[in-house]
Amino acid sequence: MGKILSGGQILMESLINEGVDTIFGYPGGAIMPTYDFLYDYRDRINHVLVRHEQGASHAAEGYARVSGKTGVCLVTSGPGVTNTVTGVADAMIDSTPIVVIAGQVGASLLGSDAFQEVDVVDMMQPVCKWAYQIRDAKDVAWAVSRAFYIASSGRPGPVVLDFAKNAQVEKAEYEPMKVNFIRSYIPVPETDEESIVNAARLINQAERPLVLVGQGVELGYATAELRAFIEKAGMPAGCTLLGLSALPSDHPLNVGMLGMHGSLGSNKMTQKCDLLIAVGMRFDDRITGKLSTYATQAKKIHFDIDPSEINKNVPVDVSVLGDCKTTLPAVTALLEKKEHKEWREAFRPYDEEENRVVIEPQIHPKEGPLRMGEVIRKVSELTQNKAVMVTDVGQNQMMSARYFKFTQCRSVVTSGGMGTMGYGLPAAIGATFGAPERTVCVFLGDGGLQMTIQELGTIMEQGAPVKIILLNNNYLGNVRQWQQLFFRRRYSFTPMLNPDYEKIAEAYNIPCATVIERKDLEAEIEKMVNTPGPYLLQCAIMEEDNVFPMCFPGHDVDDMVLKLED
Ligand SMILES: Cc1ncc(C[n+]2csc(CCOP(=O)(O)OP(=O)(O)O)c2C)c(N)n1
């Protein structure tokens, strides 16, 4: 016979049973009973009080991305939970495991338009892996265990628990529970042996293979298996935005980022390879450019854990379903050792051109205002390329992806599929809790910082050691770039009047400095890195700087523009 506990206590016991030690949250009426129980669990569960529930959801995402564990949010009903919708949707499209627990009105009031009642399950269902309403204390342990199992298994994602107030206070018997099977839910599909043989055969026959590395490789803890795979067959590999740290940046087979702002070589060669091998990626339109012309010359193999991704955007010749931790080595075992020297050499002229026209002017400009690239590269270097790179969305994100370097996996925390401005600051807070031993740097634009700027309060209260690098160009830069390129430079509501960020940092007791001149950059970054705790470094960036190379939307992926036409 288990202990008799209230639903809220059962929630705490169940969270501890799942290995949860940190949660991000914000209290309110319908979740108050649970917060009252939480008060007695303060020594076992570290609750981080955010300043807005959207911040809780992104912090949980940041925590999950760097730790591999499931991030947890606790919020109230009504506006508390609607404020997390953006984070839940963000976690869904980026396959990030989080569990959001939201208060709900008591079961007897459901459907009566009670104060702060909203239909959470119906609202969340389209943007999460599972949403469930707990109306009875006896269901809490089961629902929590099932939530963690669904969030973290197979292709990870968000789960929402809608926790009615009566179920928080009513009592039930508690027995620890572990759900690890759900009828009709197949988190890891069975691998067809034939697909392994067929994939190996195509790779052995290929003369110009190109591997596309996605986040699935990190989610599947298969970075070593990926390296063995590409090294044995001498295959160049490009990474998606979320897959950037799955392969060290300086690995000789790494040919850079794929897609719209990716490297010239990887995009050009996508249209020249004879075999495209996608691993744990989903052929997003930012990667493929125009679908109808995308790598039509090549045979294709797709390794994925989610059958619904196969043939969704790009039809493939061989699909290898399963966990890439096991499928990659199975294929590797059948591969012939190859070097593909000539094919790898063929990337070189593109690399040289990109280096000359795009990269050098960004990282070693001779004159003019600061460029984003030089700031990002310097931060990367002065943290020994070992820091966690968090970004917001916009030019700052694409520039970070291009100029930050990675030596360790689980180092990229960015909003890929949703492109959620305001993600960066709270996600960085979560990352400091998920990887307390690592340096966490977040690159933000002035627009994105202001979307969740209130989380500076969380940073202050927690002393969270977030190194905030504000790339201030006084514009909503990414939109301004598109206006410049596609809307005849009509800057419709993209110039932005900024507040005095030094004063803001001071008010939050966060050390701050502003860099305007290039000669001060290195010393100021060093100071930021060497100052314990949080820091805000504002960099005055060239206002009309642009991210290049760029594949214009709807164009062939190898149709890349390297600079503005004169
Ligand atoms: C929540 C949200 N609103 C609007 C957008 C559209 N958007 C994408 S990038 C961008 C501009 C970002 O400006 P800023 O944060 O200053 O960064 P920069 O591009 O200058 O680096 C906007 C408005 C978005 N991605 N997310």
The pLDDT tens digits along the chain (566 residues) read: 799 999 999 999 999 999 999 999 999 999 999 999 999 999 999 999 999 999 999 999 999 999 999 999 999 999 999 999 999 999 999 999 999 999 999 999 999 999 999 999 999 999 999 999 999 999 999 999 999 999 999 999 999 999 999 999 999 999 999 999 999 999 999 999 999 999 999 999 999 999 999 999 999 999 999 999 999 999 999 999 999 999 999 999 999 999 999 999 999 999 999 999 999 999 999 999 999 999 999 999 999 999 999 999 999 999 999 999 999 999 999 999 999 999 999 999 999 999 999 999 999 999 999 999 999 999 999 999 999 999 999 999 999 999 999 999 999 999 999 999 999 999 999 999 999 999 999 999 999 999 999 999 999 999 999 999 999 999 999 999 999 999 999 999 999 999 999 999 999 999 999 999 999 999 999 999 999 999 999 999 999 999 999 999 999 999 999 999 86
Does 196 sit in the ligand 1 pocket, CB within 6 Å? Answer: no
Nearest atom, ligand 1, residue 477 CA = 20
Q: Are residues 489 and 380 both part of a single domain?
A: yes
What spacing in Å lies between the alpha carbon of 504 and ligand 1's midpoint?
21
- The DSSP code for 377 is H
Count how many domains the chain has. Answer: 3
Q: State the amino acid at position 273 in one-letter form.
A: C
Distance (Å, rounded) from C-alpha 78 to C-alpha 89? 17
302 is a domain residue: yes
Retrieve residue 113's tokens.
């338009």
Nearest atom, ligand 1, residue 372 CA = 21
SS3 496: coil
Q: For residue 357, how many other CB atoms are within 10 A of its CB?
A: 14
Does 145 sit in the ligand 1 pocket, CB within 6 Å? Answer: no
Q: Are residues 386 and 436 both part of a single domain?
A: yes
- Give the containing element (helix H, strand E) for 161: strand 158-164
- Give the containing element (helix H, strand E) for 256: strand 254-257
What spacing in Å lies between the alpha carbon of 422 and ligand 1's midpoint?
9
What spacing in Å lies between the alpha carbon of 476 and ligand 1's midpoint?
6
pLDDT score recorded for residue 565:
81
Q: How far is CA 474 from each of CA 209, 452, 478, 489, rounded to the nearest angstrom?
A: 43, 17, 12, 16
Q: Are residues 389 and 534 both part of a single domain?
A: yes
What spacing in Å lies between the alpha carbon of 444 and ligand 1's midpoint?
10
pLDDT score recorded for residue 1:
79
From start to end of 330-463, where are the E strands? 388-391, 412-413, 440-445
Distance (Å, rounded) from C-alpha 196 to C-alpha 552? 36
Does 393 sit in the ligand 1 pocket, CB within 6 Å? Answer: yes
Does 542 sit in the ligand 1 pocket, CB within 6 Å? Answer: no
pLDDT score recorded for residue 123:
98
pTM for this one? 0.98
- Rg over alpha carbons for the chain, rounded to the nearest Å, is 24
pLDDT score recorded for residue 347:
98
- The DSSP code for 30 is G
Query: Which of 393, 469, 544 to mutate for ligand 1's pocket (most ligand atoms within 8 Å of CB)?
Result: 393
Q: Are residues 166 and 202 both part of a single domain?
A: no
β-bridge mates for residue 442, sequence order: 390, 468
Q: What is the mean pLDDT of the chain?
A: 98
Retrieve residue 41's tokens.
């669990």
Q: How far is CA 450 from each of CA 34, 429, 445, 552, rounded to the nearest angstrom?
A: 31, 16, 9, 28
Does 476 sit in the ligand 1 pocket, CB within 6 Å? Answer: yes
What spacing in Å lies between the alpha carbon of 497 and ligand 1's midpoint?
15
Does 478 sit in the ligand 1 pocket, CB within 6 Å? Answer: yes
Its sign, for the CA torsion 283, 288, 294, 295, is negative
Does 399 sit in the ligand 1 pocket, CB within 6 Å? Answer: no
Q: Which residue has the tokens 């892996």?
A: 129
Phi, psi of 9 (to 5 degrees): -70, -40
Name every residue whose Cβ is closer than 8 Å to that of residue 519 and which is 6 or more positions away in sequence.
none
Q: Would you state the torsion angle of the CA atoms of residues 486, 487, 491, 496, taken in this order, to the nearest 10 degrees?
A: -40
Residue nearest to ligand 1 atom 24, measured at CA:
421
184 is a domain residue: no
Q: Would you state the torsion angle of the CA atoms of residues 517, 519, 520, 522, taken in this order, to the nearest 10 degrees?
A: 130
Q: Are strands 171-174 and 3-6 parallel, antiparallel or unpaired?
A: antiparallel
Q: Are residues 215 and 287 both part of a single domain?
A: yes
Q: Are residues 459 and 530 both part of a single domain?
A: yes
If you count DSSP H runs as helices and E runs as strands, how many of each does the chain have, helices first? Answer: 25, 22
Residue where a domain stops, chosen among 116, 141, 174: 174
What spacing in Å lies between the alpha carbon of 545 and ligand 1's midpoint?
15
Does 307 sit in the ligand 1 pocket, CB within 6 Å? Answer: no
Residue nearest to ligand 1 atom 8, measured at CA:
394
Q: Are residues 322 and 450 both part of a single domain?
A: no
Q: Are residues 408 and 497 both part of a single domain?
A: yes
Distance (Å, rounded) from C-alpha 412 to C-alpha 241? 8
**Among candidate residues 475, 477, 485, 487, the one with its CA nearest the CA of residue 394:** 477
Q: Are residues 391 and 339 both part of a single domain?
A: no
Residue nearest to ligand 1 atom 9, measured at CA:
394
What spacing in Å lies between the alpha carbon of 397 and ligand 1's midpoint?
10
Nearest atom, ligand 1, residue 496 CA = 16
**Among candidate residues 25, 35, 27, 29, the one with its CA nearest the CA of residue 57:** 25
3-state percent breakdown (helix, strand, coil) of the chain, nearest 5: 40, 20, 40
Whether omega for the bond prior to residue 126 falls within 30 degrees of 0, making it cis, is: no
Q: Are residues 165 and 221 both part of a single domain?
A: no
pLDDT score recorded for residue 339:
98
Residue nearest to ligand 1 atom 26, measured at CA:
421
Retrieve residue 4's tokens.
């008799």
Distance (Å, rounded) from C-alpha 281 to C-alpha 540? 35
311 is a domain residue: yes
Interaxial angle between packed helices 53-67 and 85-93, expressed in degrees from 0 to 180 and rounded to the nearest 10:
30
Q: Are residues 120 and 8 both part of a single domain?
A: yes
What spacing in Å lies between the alpha carbon of 473 and ligand 1's midpoint?
12
Does 420 sit in the ligand 1 pocket, CB within 6 Å? Answer: yes
301 within 8 A of 280, measured Cβ to Cβ: no
Does 394 sit in the ligand 1 pocket, CB within 6 Å? Answer: yes
332 is a domain residue: yes
Give 374-394 pLDDT, tens digit per residue: 999 999 999 999 999 999 999
253 is a domain residue: yes
pLDDT score recorded for residue 566:
61
Query: Which of 54, 476, 546 to mutate for ligand 1's pocket (most ligand atoms within 8 Å of CB)?
Result: 476
What spacing in Å lies between the alpha carbon of 385 and ligand 1's midpoint?
26
562 is a domain residue: no
For residue 291, what are the domain limits? 193-345
* DSSP character string of 50-115: -SSHHHHHHHHHHHHHHHSSPEEEEE-STHHHHTTHHHHHHHHHTT--EEEEEEE--GGGTTS--T
353 is a domain residue: no
Does 477 sit in the ligand 1 pocket, CB within 6 Å? Answer: yes
Does 421 sit in the ligand 1 pocket, CB within 6 Å? Answer: yes
Q: Are residues 125 and 21 both part of a single domain?
A: yes
Nearest atom, ligand 1, residue 476 CA = 13
Does 396 sit in the ligand 1 pocket, CB within 6 Å? Answer: yes
Nearest atom, ligand 1, residue 396 CA = 21
Q: For residue 519, how many other CB atoms are within 10 A of its CB?
A: 8
What spacing in Å lies between the alpha carbon of 102 and ligand 1's midpoint?
29
Residue nearest to ligand 1 atom 2, measured at CA:
421
Query: Which of 260, 421, 442 to mutate for ligand 1's pocket (most ligand atoms within 8 Å of CB)?
Result: 421
Q: For residue 566, how many other CB atoms are within 10 A of its CB?
A: 3
What CATH number is attached to the domain comprising 57? Answer: 3.40.50.970
198 is a domain residue: yes
For 387-476, where are the alpha helices, taking DSSP H only?
Answer: 395-403, 424-434, 446-451, 456-462
What spacing in Å lies between the alpha carbon of 563 and ligand 1's midpoint?
21
